[in-house]
Structure 1
Amino acid sequence: MDEQNKNLLLATGLSLFVIVIWFALFPPPEPPEPTDTANGETTSGETAPAGDTALVPQSAGTGETSETATAQDVTEDAPEAPRVDIDTPTLKGSVSLRGGRIDDLLLKRYRETLEPDAPIVTLLSPIGSDHAYYALFGWAPGSGLSADQVPGANTIWQVASGETLTPETPLVLTWNNGAGLTFRREMQVDDKSMFTVTQSVQNTGSAAATIAPYGILARHGEPTDLKNFFILHEGAISIADGELVETDYDDFEPFGAQEDVTLTESGWTGFTDHYWMTALIPGEAEGAQFSTFQDASRNIYQTNVKQRTTTLEPGQDMAVTTRLFAGAKEWDTIRNYQNNEGVGKFLDSIDWGWFFFLTKPIFAVLHWLNVLIGNMGWAIIALTFIIKLVLLPLAYKSYVSMAKMKELQPEMEKIKERTGDDRQKLQQEMMALYKKEKVNPASGCLPILLQIPIFFSLYKVIFVTLELRHAPWIGWIKDLSAPDPSSIYNLWGVFPWTGPEPGSILALIFIGILPLLLGISMWMQQKLNPAPTDPTQKMIFAWMPWVFMFMLGSFASGLVVYWIANNVITFSQQYLIMRSQGYKPDVFGNIMESFKKKPDAEDK
């Protein structure tokens, strides 16, 4: 087996092995089971938890030790509190005056499916609905104050101003504890997804009051659309003084056992889903404390921000601001909050993975191309051109080396005949020949090996970023984050019945148009490589394009588009470089013998 074929077989086999393992370990996620949110029951008949709020701080503490907390219950027969509408270009919902909770929020620009009449994505839901999810603000009492003397989860606030919370009209709520403390809460929202909640208190009494403001994000149970996909983090996420902390739902510590974090510089904490996120950003980070835990008895996951404890003397007042992000993880929006509004490392809310040094710049370029071109599919193809252009110097050396190897093929055959079964002597004479002719047999596999991290990085980008969700390309490709929906099963849309579900066994058999194009492009590219002399190698290489075709058939369409474009560009580069070296590849004729020399070269 010559060194060139051995290295090429090794690189290709390694690529196949990695993709097989990847596909086996990380199959496409199963679609979530539908739930009936109207009556608060899941499809299994279990009643969603109702009547319980998150654990709220019941002691102001010192800001240096873990706070104590208890549950405040909302009884089943409690009257529904009034609500104030929320209306922005991107959000709609309402604020409950019970606790002043932001617990009803829908994302106007996103629908659950591609159907035009599909429901708008729901981000936050009130207590009593299936899988309640809400933001709650309040004050923890210090010495001399009881829990009912500070606003908490069940406090009924009064509207001081604002009929609807919009970017132009803030909402102001007030509450007086009847013992000398008047509390005020002003809510503002921008035209994207950021709320600003300013909590203030005035001490008109005769005694000092020790209090600490807090913010809570709580969700009852795990999300219904949880992917449970290894390469995607879903759960709690925080940045504490520059350090990223991610907590999966399986890893939440029970209340009382959690490790609380006190900030010295900056940070934020929240929950991240596949495409959506909530986050609390304290206005005064120094001394603020993050607590992330699970209330196992109620199956409530929550993350808290408690800011520094303050003693308010008679006649004094104070105010503290907390921002709440609640919306879609749009790269451009999150980047603006990070770069222009001081939310440090906010882009890390997108799960860039281990290859972040590749995924971040790849998506930045992809986003720029999408803005420039106006179509994500064509942006992926343009990105492929750029990647191939960057790798062109290495590819040129590789293809020149392959051409020289082909030129040395007769001499290599003579060495094999002369050395017979003496493999040591064969290797020695081969290495001497390579050194004499200045040929590197390993250079042919380097472009293939470099494609592996790029392939996985682009797969990560396509899977985790919101911008590819429901992004159309051409014709039947309406969602580049989903597999090709066409199928030979319905003659690619000619017959009225639908194709197999993505990820099923039938979907692997009845593949779509893009996987077929992928197989053909790989087959064409393979024809430019020297044909192995070993029958086993030859059979493996012959089957390789079609194995990959079926393996990648259930992958996201955007990834398959990239792979096809990569193969076509690689084929074109290799064909032209081979011709420049004196060989004309015969692609569509009797090409198993790879290359033909020019007549003048044969005469020499």
Structure 2
Amino acid sequence: MDDQNKNLILATALSFIVIMVWFVMFPPPETQSVDPNAPAVVATDTAITPSVDTSGEKSATSTAEVTEATAPEAPRLEIDTPSLKGTLSLQGGRIDDLSLKNYRETLDPGSDIVHLLKPVGSDAPYYALFGWAPGAGLNAEQVPNANTIWQVEAGEKLTPDTPVTLKWDNGAGQVFKRQISVDADFMFEISQTVENSGTSSVSMAPYGILARHGMPADLKNFFILHEGGIRMIDGELTESDYEDFEPASALKEIAVEADGWTGFTDHFWMATLIPQNESGAKISTFHDARRDIYQTNSKLRTETLAPGETATVHTRLFAGAKEWDTIRSYQNQANVEGFLDSIDWGWFFFLTKPIFWLLHNLNALIGNMGWSIIALTLIIKAALLPLAFKSYVSMAKMKELQPRMEELKAAAGDDRQQLQKSMMELYKKEKVNPASGCLPILLQIPIFFSLYKVIFVTLELRHAPWIGWIKDLSAPDPSSLYNLWGALPWGTPEPGSILALIFIGILPLLLGISMWLQQKLNPAPTDPTQQMIFAWMPWVFMFMLGSFASGLVVYWIANNTITFTQQYLIMRSQGYKPDVFGNIVSSFKRKPKPKPDDK
């Protein structure tokens, strides 16, 4: 067999091994069931140890009394925007009941909308708190905390056009007000004001808290995806898995010099605290193992108010879907530094970011994510065409040189060194690079992984339909050979089961056929081992990739089809005419068994 085909086999085998290892190490996540009758986690009081500032004076304590209400259920105010619905509790002024209007749990139109934030007493409490931690001249009872019952001063319903204002008088000379506003997407702004009408100076520090009771029930635990804590401090992104959270006893506050935000990120959703841009803010993230509460805090600098003075501070809260357009607008127009990095672009961010940008814009133009993936494939193949052209020209020349290479092999006999020398002289004379055929295949590996990352991680592929039976390009092909792709009157196997892996869908079958046809551009290798590898490879890939996201399989089919067309036309332009039909026919012919005396 010539060196060109050996290199092609090596490159293809390498691609196969890399993807197989990836598939084994990072299998598709299994759907986890949630027990609706699981007992609720109930928290008790907690307080973070007071910190001491550089002057040696006691600074305000960042206190988070995350407790269940001891009084009857406090009144609530409705939240209603084009994107959100829910309520906020007047107990602590908590934003603890929030759902996403435009996103459902499943493809079923009647399924529940995604419930992001939940109050204490629910199956998975997850909420935002704001308040003031006491400093000099105040005690814990004289500042609003998680259980303070606020009074409504203005507004009956929180909408983008109608903010609400809450008020609380501590009876000791300080009046606290909190104005909460929200935009049409997912951003709240919390403005906290305190007026000191007492007779002496007081100090206190404003804080914001995101608390989550236990790990999310639908945690994917998939290596390619980050879920857990996330923060950006002065341009440096830090991600923490839930099991890596620092214990509450080892709390560390990280100073923010200019810009920062902190929060929790899920697969498609996120809640984030964004303190106002100023020096002196501090961010901390920890896990209270005793009560199994994960918490992240943003504490602004301590405010000292003389009698008659007033102070106002601002903190923003993002709670919603990780929509690329929306998050980018907050980064560019609302000055949330590095907010786009809240989407997990991964190590190949230099590929995933531009690939998604292009895919997003193609979808805006075409209006269908499946056809946009095919258009993206065309653009990628066009960008790689100069390299592919050189590769396929080299392959055509190698075919022309095949008779002369056979002559060199016969002349060299068993002298491998002489054969190698003669081959190199022939390649140099004819200006042929036998390794050039591997480059397009090798370049496809990082592109394949980057597109896999984009399809799996980004929200825009979630529940995105293509054609017919493909209703969700982020999920595997739901059709199955088990019921002859819908022709027989029974359902398909459960996703992730062994039967689902064996009885593949239509898209994986098309993938296998496209790979098989691509092989038929060249005759089968004469070596039996290489022949067997080539014969099995398309079908192994077919089953291996069958459980991958449909969008990725669509890309792979389109890539194979375009590659076949490019290679066929370029090789014909160089005088070599691939006998595709003849190679297909020959692959079905029975090979005569070698006789015992055959050498």
Shorter-chain TM-score bucket reads over 0.9
- 1:62 maps onto 2:53 in alignment: yes
1:559 is aligned to 552
Percent identity over paired residues = 71
**Residues 95-244 of structure 1 aligned to structure 2 (within 5 Å):** 95-244=88-237
SS in 2 for 1:455: helix
Match of residue 525 from structure 2? 532
Paired amino acid for 1:154: N
Q: Residues 551 and 350 from structure 1, CA distance in 2 versus in 1: closer, same or farther, beyond 3 angstroms? A: same
User: After superposition, what is the alpha-carbon deviation per residue over 1:244-289, rounded to whole angstroms, capped at 9, x for unaligned?
Assistant: 0000001001013133210111011110000000111111331100
Q: How many residues align?
A: 585
Worse-matched range after superposition: 286-295 or 254-263: 254-263
Rounded to whole Å, the distance in 1 between the matches of 2:53 and 2:176 is 21
1:510 paired residue among 487, 490, 503: 503
Tell me, which stretches of 5 or more residues in structure 2 are unaligned?
588-599
* Secondary structure class of the residue paired with 2:166: strand
CA deviation vs aligned residue, 1:190-240 (integer Å, no higher than 9, x gap): 000000000010000001010100000010000011000001000000000
Aligned residue in 2 for 1:388 = 381
**AA paired with 2:41?**
P
Counterparts of 2:460 and 2:224 in 1: how far apart (Å)? Answer: 18
Q: TM-score, normalised by structure 1?
A: 0.94
3-state DSSP of counterpart to 2:406: helix
Whether the 8 Å CA contact 1:330–1:466 is kept in 2: the answer is yes
Structure 1, 143-152 or 373-382: larger mean CA deviation: 143-152
Equivalent residue, structure 2, for 1:600: none
- Matched residues in 2 for 1:303 and 1:151: separation? 19
Residues 339-397 of structure 1 deviation map (CA, whole Å, 9 limit, x = unaligned) = 11100110100000000000000000000000000000000000000000000000000
Q: Distance in 2 between matches of 1:569 and 1:233?
A: 34
Which of 437, 455, 458 is matched with 1:462 structurally?
455
| 2:581 is the counterpart of 1:588 | yes
Partner residue, 1:16: 16
1:303 maps to what in 2? Answer: 296
- Alpha-carbon contact 1:516-1:549 (below 8 Å) kept: yes
Corresponding residue of 2:251: 258
| Contact 2:206 2:300 (8 Å CA) reproduced | yes
Instruction: Confirm or deny that 1:48 pairs with 2:44.
Output: no
Residues 507 and 553, structure 2, Cα contact 8 Å, conserved in 1: yes
CA distance in 2, matches of 1:411, 1:303: 71
- Contact 2:522/2:583 (8 A) holds in 1: no
Asked if the contact 2:130/2:209 (under 8 Å) is kept, the reply is yes
TM-score, normalised to structure 2, is 0.95
Report the counterpart of residue 601 of structure 1 in structure 2. none
Q: Distance in 1 between matches of 2:573 and 2:277?
A: 65
Q: How does 1:161-560 map to 2 (within 5 A)?
A: 161-529=154-522, 531-560=524-553
Question: Taking structure 1 as reference, are residues 67 and 381 closer, same or farther at Cα in structure 2, changes over 3 Å only?
Answer: farther
Q: Distance in 2 between matches of 1:178 and 1:208?
A: 15
Report the 3-state secondary structure (helix = DSSP H, G, I; strand = E; otherwise coil) of the residue aligned with 1:479.
coil
How big is the shift at 1:453? 0.1
Q: Deviations over 1:123-159 (max 9, x none)?
A: 0000011110000000010022111100011000000
Q: Deviations over 1:452-503 (max 9, x none)?
A: 0000000000000000000000000000000000001011112232211222
Q: In 2, distance between residues paired with 1:321 and 1:73?
A: 22
Other structure's SS at 2:167 match: strand
Contact map agreement 1:59 1:69 (CA 8 A) in 2: yes
Q: Is the Cα–Cα contact under 8 Å of residues 259 and 291 in structure 1 kept in the other structure?
A: yes
- What is the rounded CA distance, in whole Å, between the counterparts of 2:548 and 2:184 in structure 1? 35
Q: Deviations over 1:300-358 (max 9, x none)?
A: 00100000011110000010000000000000000110111100110100000000000
Computed over aligned residues only, the root mean square deviation of the Cα atoms, in angstroms, reads 1.7
Q: Is the 8 A contact 2:60 2:205 kept in 1?
A: no
- In structure 2, how many angstroms separate the alpha carbons of the residues matched to 1:235 and 1:388? 37
CA drift at 1:174: 0.4
Conserved? CA contact 2:60–2:204, under 8 Å: no
Cα distance in structure 1, aligned partners of 2:334 and 2:199: 40
Task: Give the C-alpha shift of residue 298 in structure 1.
Answer: 0.4
Unpaired runs of 5+ in structure 1? 595-604
Note closer, same or farther for the CA distance 1:446–1:229 as it changes in structure 2 (3 Å cut). same
1:28 deviates by 1.0
Cα distance between partner residues in 1 of 2:159 and 2:489: 46
Q: 1:530 to 1:340 in 2, by over 3 A?
A: farther
Query: What is the DSSP-based 3-state SS (H/G/I as helix, E as strand, rest coil) of the residue aligned with 1:584?
Result: coil
Q: By how many angstroms is 1:106 displaced?
A: 0.2
Q: Provide the residue aligned with 1:599 in structure 2.
A: none
SS at match of 2:206: strand
Amino acid at match of 2:42: A
Tell me which residue corresponds to 2:590: none
Aligned to 1:86: 79
Secondary structure of 1:219's counterpart equals strand
Correspondence for 2:595: none
Distance 1:591 1:117, change over 3 A: closer
Once residues 289 and 370 of structure 2 are traced to their aligned partners in structure 1, the CA distance between those partners, rounded to angstroms, is: 45
